[in-house]
Structure 1
């Protein structure tokens, strides 16, 4: 009971991070499931994909009401990502669970680095589209999809700049459209993992989804009261510490 309550509080914090920073919160879901709630890593990754999918769907619908979602770019990127996520979900069956978590820790370090990079201002002029957008969409979409299916994280820190650079989207459009991509990738990765036998705790997935969505609404409402740069630096530091914790736990088991 104590673990479930702690898991709910941490899920609320993940959603709060998502609402405050516009991304990053989903990287906390797998560690919560594995190290707080004691789930087996493959089941945790599948359950995380369900949570990330629901959370990104809700966020995407809210942005769609404001006409920020660019459907053509999102569906093209998402189609490539879904293929990658399906492959990543199947690949996860062949990778030892310790290595899945070590790869996940590496992804946390990359996320922290991405959080510390200066972000383009929302009103800045969009970047010019890539000269060969189809190849770039295929490459980035497949890569993000494989990571999503393999370790259960949304990969928004890759999707957002890719949409901005490849498609020439403004930052608000890229953030909104990335939620469509993450939703599609998560759905594909989840189905691939579930259909190949990964255990899913449906009740836990529903509870964590509710807590994360509630946290994201709260974070969005509070976002104007905090310095985004300070929040990003704090979250990046926390992500590095959590990644180091995972390595300390898993490297001796290799």
Structure 2
């Protein structure tokens, strides 16, 4: 079952522009019986390694805005341990309830995005689009020689959001793509393809930072389960490459958002029943 659930997470991560990895923690808690803190640690590792495969291809294709991504990621890497530390201070019921609330927010955003920006909802992580190189210029602005101009306000904004994403990722065990992608688009004016590609790099680095912190904080992690879950996640990402040609789009995003709402409702019922 660990591999199967990992495949589901890999598909969700690969077929959505942001937010798919949020299914990892509920599957680990209710499907595999992992305690919340352990599930968060496993999720961080699985999402990070799965995202790394997509990041490698995106980097090879030249789609990652490396300097902007690293500024964002370094801030997140520094604060992900803070999120892990805060998670150790909170009881399992509270974490679960808060996580359900985050799922509702992500589902609402995904639902609105699918309704208002149908073309953007066709952008997936599993396979960079052929026309991704046509995305408009980005981080704050390009200079005439094609280099990014990372001025102080732009860099400060990237750091600020990176700090927030790092804390949330460490606390909840999510990749943070639901925040990273819109933040990159808003702050840097980069196109959706490059934002999704760059977010994969950020997710990889922040996830590994959170996992490392969880290990050193003494969380009881089932490494065999983690390995199988990661294997499933990678297989799911690969499967998403094929499926993305046929099912990516507004309907898929709407389906994911409804699934998130149902999952969040189930978590709330289980927590308070």
Say yes or no: TM over 0.5: yes
Contact 2:18 2:181 survives alignment (8 Å): no
1:105 corresponds to: 100
1:205 is aligned to 2:226: yes
Question: In the TM superposition, what whole-angstrom CA distance separates every residue of 1:145-180 from its partner, at most 9, and x where no partner exists?
Answer: 111000100110110111122122221111111011
DSSP-derived class of the 1:44 partner = helix
After superposition, residues 226-241 of structure 1 pair within 5 angstroms as 226-241=247-262
Give the deviation of 1:27 after TM superposition. 0.8
1:145 corresponds to: 166
Note the residue ranges of structure 2 that are not aligned, 5 or more in a row. Answer: 121-131, 142-150
Contact 2:135 2:194 survives alignment (8 Å): no
Aligned equivalents of 1:251, 1:127: Cα separation in 2: 45
What is the Cα-based RMSD across aligned positions, in Å? 1.9
2:200 corresponds to: 179
Runs of 4+ more than 6 Å apart = none
1:89 is aligned to 2:110: no
Note the residue ranges of structure 1 that are not aligned, 5 or more in a row. Answer: none
1:192 is aligned to 2:213: yes
TM-score, scaled to structure 1: 0.91
Aligned equivalents of 1:103, 1:65: Cα separation in 2: 37
TM-score, scaled to structure 2: 0.85
Give the deviation of 1:11 after TM superposition. 2.1
Aligned equivalents of 2:15, 2:9: Cα separation in 1: 10
Aligned equivalents of 1:139, 1:228: Cα separation in 2: 31
Aligned equivalents of 1:97, 1:201: Cα separation in 2: 18
Give the deviation of 1:125 after TM superposition. 4.2
Change in CA separation of 1:19 and 1:128 when aligned onto 2, cut-off 3 Å: closer
2:145 corresponds to: none
Contact 2:138 2:190 survives alignment (8 Å): yes
Matched positions, count: 247
Flag the structure with higher helix content. 1
1:33 is aligned to 2:54: no
Question: In the TM superposition, what whole-angstrom CA distance separates every residue of 1:164-199 from its partner, at most 9, and x where no partner exists?
Answer: 221222211111110111111111111111111111
Change in CA separation of 1:109 and 1:95 when aligned onto 2, cut-off 3 Å: same
